[in-house]
């Protein structure tokens, strides 16, 4: 990191300057031919991560789990899912990463456990110590409720009308205990009762146990769902997700999070990123301010274009996307810090969602890489994004593996909203989570070089053209462009700490902004459209600038207007100083 301009914040954090790479272990690399990725497979690829130039890995859950939700249903927080390996494999991975100065961030899933977790087993038997570890309630007499639930005794319905995020009611009836338990996700994922201090103590102790093993941070799964409105009242029946006002950003969420940080996080060196669906900028200011998290994963920008629920996605408006991102940039500029992401294991692939996964696939993949690395915040790259992987075709329901997508298809058919899979196929192929989870495309060998066995989820048939081997051999590839972006960001404080200012907010084609730090300035101009565009550079924005990186051959300095080809991206910077790395240009025809 260059020291040419003192950063204005009083202290620097490694995680502000880092690029984080997200690994979905099931789909990354299979070392033993069982068709499922594993820890030894990730260890084989640490040199790959090093070559890409990432500074940290966020590893999705690798804990012992029945895998109803691919590991987000944990049976034992202190052991490894045996298909992925064992604790020794995990330790080897950590050591290999640390040898290369790559840090490791583990997934922390504590809103819920698996129903197979021993706490739930004790709890469903009503054993006193664990009786209140989960949210247990008696049912409601059916005649007093204006909703239906199929489960449980004939004359009862669930205790309230809340929806599960994975479809259907948020309650399941347990025969053994003779009561209902709350599950905001699948019924095999009962919600922990954070009102119970013993639950919180157990969570903090488990976190300290992992920190003692040398990890560098936690990504905190749906952490803003842990507090529920006392009494668990009915939600607004007209709402898209009934009950959300009682379980998203609930009344004690800040108490619990600040307690968690105080009890389990020794210092700011530990990266803590809270996944916070439904949180607005003001909520986030508190999460990263008084509560003490490093940053949050917010959802507003990935939700642009969704009308109502997750499954109905319209073309998004660039103006709306810019407005949303700018609000977060500005809202967390002075207090706090942003995470930056465009895809992950729950979202569609970036080029399919925001760019063009056909004619302009490479160009739009580079354009969105440019956005990711030049906004203020910590970029998170999801596996495969660095080669421009795309959404996949799913020809029948039997090709799906994701519990959420399968529930959606089944419910659509049961409720009569769809006659067959064909009627919902488009929605699944547009937003279903399996799109992001198809195996990593390493080469054009069988199964994309991911496994010698039968892959647990189909490989995207485009692997012969889109794969790591090919991308690394081609200097104009998305992969090399990501590497160069990483170098550029790593060498200029400006791109990490500089102030953000959105230009031309109403422009429907061009996403343009400046970053400013002391005398240094960056101008980023992105044509987010398949048509040529012209951008008028504001008077004070263009002086002294030189092209630092772009996805096409471009002029070295911006004039008063910039003419952009479809999906063209350019980053102009004030000239590099002695300690800065030389600037680069990357050209690419499509
Ligand atoms: C988060 C995870 C997702 C999981 C859910 C329940 O949203 O990212 O994959 O299904 O929480 O744990």
Domain with 126 in it: what CATH number? Answer: 3.90.400.10
Ligand 1 centroid from CA 330, angstroms: 28
**Any atom of ligand 1 within 6 Å of the Cβ of 580:** no
Domain housing 269: 12-112+195-393+440-477
Domain annotation covers residue 584:
no
Ligand 1 centroid from CA 72, angstroms: 6
Residue 147 CB contacts under 8 Å (≥ 6 apart), including other chains: 157, 158, 161, 169, 237
Say whether both 279 and 428 belong to one domain: no
Place of tokens 């400046």: 514
Give CA separation, 189 vs 168, 185, 193, 545, in Å: 14, 6, 13, 53
**Any atom of ligand 1 within 6 Å of the Cβ of 402:** no
Domain annotation covers residue 215:
yes
Q: Three-class SS of residue 439?
A: coil
Measure the CA–CA gap between 549 and 496, rounded to whole angstroms: 16
Measure the CA–CA gap between 540 and 45, rounded to whole angstroms: 46
Specify the residue with its C-alpha closest to ligand 1, atom 12. 72
Say whether both 279 and 356 belong to one domain: yes
Measure the CA–CA gap between 148 and 371, rounded to whole angstroms: 46
Give the pLDDT of residue 560: 87
Residue 512 CB contacts under 8 Å (≥ 6 apart), including other chains: 502, 503, 504, 523, 524, 525, 526, 535
Q: Three-class SS of residue 484?
A: helix
Ligand 1 atom with minimal separation from the 344 CA: 8
Q: How far is CA 225 from the centre of its chain?
A: 16
Residue that terminates a domain, selected from 190, 215, 231: 190
Give the pLDDT of residue 500: 98
Say whether both 266 and 371 belong to one domain: yes
Specify the residue with its C-alpha closest to ligand 1, atom 4. 72
Say whether both 239 and 329 belong to one domain: yes
Give the pLDDT of residue 6: 45
Say whether both 101 and 215 belong to one domain: yes
221 among known catalytic residues: yes
357 among known catalytic residues: no
Measure the CA–CA gap between 487 and 374, rounded to whole angstroms: 12
Residues of the chain with pLDDT under 50: 1-9, 578-587, 589-590
In our burial notation (b when 16+ CB lie closer than 10 A, e otherwise), range 120-157 reads beebbeeeeebbebbbbeebbeeeebebebebbeeebb
Please give the structure tokens belonging to residue 494: 């400006």
Domain annotation covers residue 136:
yes
Say whether both 84 and 95 belong to one domain: yes
Domain annotation covers residue 587:
no
Question: What is the CB neighbour count within 10 angstroms for residue 475?
Answer: 11
**Any atom of ligand 1 within 6 Å of the Cβ of 163:** no
Say whether both 351 and 458 belong to one domain: yes
Please give the structure tokens belonging to residue 171: 């309650």
Q: Which of 447, 502, 495, 481 is nearest to 549 (CA)?
A: 481
Ligand 1 centroid from CA 294, angstroms: 20
Ligand 1 centroid from CA 341, angstroms: 16
**Any atom of ligand 1 within 6 Å of the Cβ of 73:** no
Give CA separation, 30 vs 21, 26, 88, in Å: 18, 8, 17
Using alpha carbons only, what angle is made at residue 481 by residues 475 and 487, rounded to the nearest 5 degrees?
A: 115
Give the pLDDT of residue 150: 85
576 with 563: CB under 8 angstroms? no
Please give the structure tokens belonging to residue 276: 């916070």
Domain annotation covers residue 578:
no
Q: What would the DSSP string read from start to end of 117-144? A: SHHHHHHHTT-GGGTTSB-EE--EEGGG
Give the pLDDT of residue 477: 97
Ligand 1 centroid from CA 396, angstroms: 24
Say whether both 400 and 389 belong to one domain: no
Say whether both 20 and 162 belong to one domain: no
Measure the CA–CA gap between 484 and 490, rounded to whole angstroms: 10
Q: In CATH, what number is assigned to the domain containing residue 542?
A: 2.60.40.1180
Q: Which of 131, 127, 250 is nearest to 199 (CA)?
A: 131
Domain annotation covers residue 310:
yes
Say whether both 366 and 240 belong to one domain: yes
Q: Three-class SS of residue 169?
A: strand
Please give the structure tokens belonging to residue 419: 């006659």
Q: Dihedral angle at the C-alpha atoms of 146, 152, 153, 159, nearest 10 degrees?
A: -40
Q: In CATH, what number is assigned to the domain containing residue 29?
A: 3.20.20.80
Residue that terminates a domain, selected from 125, 155, 190: 190
Q: Dihedral angle at the C-alpha atoms of 555, 558, 564, 568, nearest 10 degrees?
A: 70
Q: Three-class SS of residue 21?
A: strand
Domain annotation covers residue 445:
yes
Give the pLDDT of residue 577: 64
Give the pLDDT of residue 10: 53
Q: Which of 222, 335, 333 is nearest to 273 (CA)?
A: 222
Say whether both 237 and 333 belong to one domain: yes
State the total domains in the chain. 4
Specify the residue with its C-alpha closest to ligand 1, atom 9. 346
Residue that terminates a domain, selected from 166, 190, 214: 190
Say whether both 105 and 117 belong to one domain: no
436 with 404: CB under 8 angstroms? no
**Any atom of ligand 1 within 6 Å of the Cβ of 222:** yes
What's the pTM value of the predicted model, to 2 decimals?
0.95
Measure the CA–CA gap between 70 and 63, rounded to whole angstroms: 10
Domain annotation covers residue 172:
yes
**Any atom of ligand 1 within 6 Å of the Cβ of 346:** yes
């Amino acid at each position: 990191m260059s020291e040419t301009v003192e950063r204005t914040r009083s202290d620097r954090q490694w995680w502000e300057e880092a690029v984080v790479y997200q690994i979905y272990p099931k789909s990354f690399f299979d070392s033993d031919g069982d068709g499922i990725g594993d820890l030894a497979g990730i260890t084989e690829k640490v040199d790959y991560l090093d070559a890409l130039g990432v500074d940290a890995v966020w590893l999705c859950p690798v804990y012992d789990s029945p895998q109803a939700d691919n590991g987000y249903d944990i049976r034992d927080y202190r052991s490894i899912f045996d298909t992925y390996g064992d604790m020794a494999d995990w330790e080897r991975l950590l050591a290999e990463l640390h040898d290369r100065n790559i840090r490791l961030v583990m997934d922390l899933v504590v809103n819920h456990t698996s129903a197979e977790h021993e706490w739930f087993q004790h709890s469903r038997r009503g054993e006193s110590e664990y009786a209140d570890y989960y949210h247990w309630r008696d049912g409601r007499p059916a005649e007093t409720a204006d909703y239906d639930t199929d489960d449980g005794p004939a004359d009862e319905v669930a205790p309230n009308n809340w929806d599960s995020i994975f479809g259907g009611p948020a309650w399941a009836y347990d025969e053994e205990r003779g009561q209902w338990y709350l599950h905001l996700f699948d019924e095999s994922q009962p919600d922990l009762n954070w009102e119970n201090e013993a639950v919180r103590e157990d969570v903090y102790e488990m976190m300290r146990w992992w920190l003692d093993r040398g990890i560098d941070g936690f990504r905190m799964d749906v952490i803003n769902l842990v507090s529920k409105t006392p009494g668990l009242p009915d939600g607004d029946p007209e709402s898209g997700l009934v009950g959300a006002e009682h379980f998203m950003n609930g009344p004690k969420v800040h108490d619990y999070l600040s307690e968690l940080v105080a009890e389990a996080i020794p210092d700011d060196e530990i990266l803590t990123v809270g996944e916070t669906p439904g949180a607005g900028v003001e909520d986030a200011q508190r999460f990263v301010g008084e509560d003490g998290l490093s940053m949050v994963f917010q959802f507003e920008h990935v939700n642009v274009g969704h009308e109502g629920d997750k499954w109905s996605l319209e073309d998004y408006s660039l103006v709306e996307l810019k407005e949303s991102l700018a609000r977060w940039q500005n809202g967390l500029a002075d207090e706090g810090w942003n995470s930056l992401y465009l895809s992950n294991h729950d979202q569609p692939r970036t080029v399919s969602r925001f760019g063009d996964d056909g004619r302009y696939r490479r160009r739009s993949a580079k354009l969105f890489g440019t956005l990711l690395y030049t906004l203020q915040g910590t970029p998170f790259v999801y596996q495969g994004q660095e080669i421009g992987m795309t959404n996949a075709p799913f020809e029948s329901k039997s090709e799906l593996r994701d519990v959420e997508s399968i529930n959606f298809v089944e419910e659509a058919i049961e409720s009569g909203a769809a006659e067959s899979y064909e009627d919902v196929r488009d929605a699944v192929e547009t937003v279903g989570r399996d799109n992001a989870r198809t195996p990593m495309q390493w080469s054009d060998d069988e199964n994309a070089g991911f496994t010698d066995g039968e892959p647990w989820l189909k490989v995207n048939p485009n692997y012969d053209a889109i794969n790591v081997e090919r991308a690394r051999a081609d200097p104009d590839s998305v992969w090399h462009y990501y590497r160069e972006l990483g170098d550029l960001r790593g060498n200029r404080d400006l791109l990490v700490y500089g102030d953000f200012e959105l230009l031309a907010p109403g422009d429907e084609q061009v996403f343009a902004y400046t970053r400013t730090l002391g005398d240094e300035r960056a101008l980023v101009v992105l044509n987010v459209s398949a048509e040529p565009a012209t951008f008028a550079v504001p008077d004070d924005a263009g002086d002294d600038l030189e092209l630092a990186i772009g996805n096409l051959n471009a002029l070295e300095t911006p004039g008063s207007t910039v003419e952009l080809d479809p999906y063209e991206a350019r980053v102009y910077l004030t000239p590099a100083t002695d300690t800065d790395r030389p600037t680069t240009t990357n050209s690419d025809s499509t």
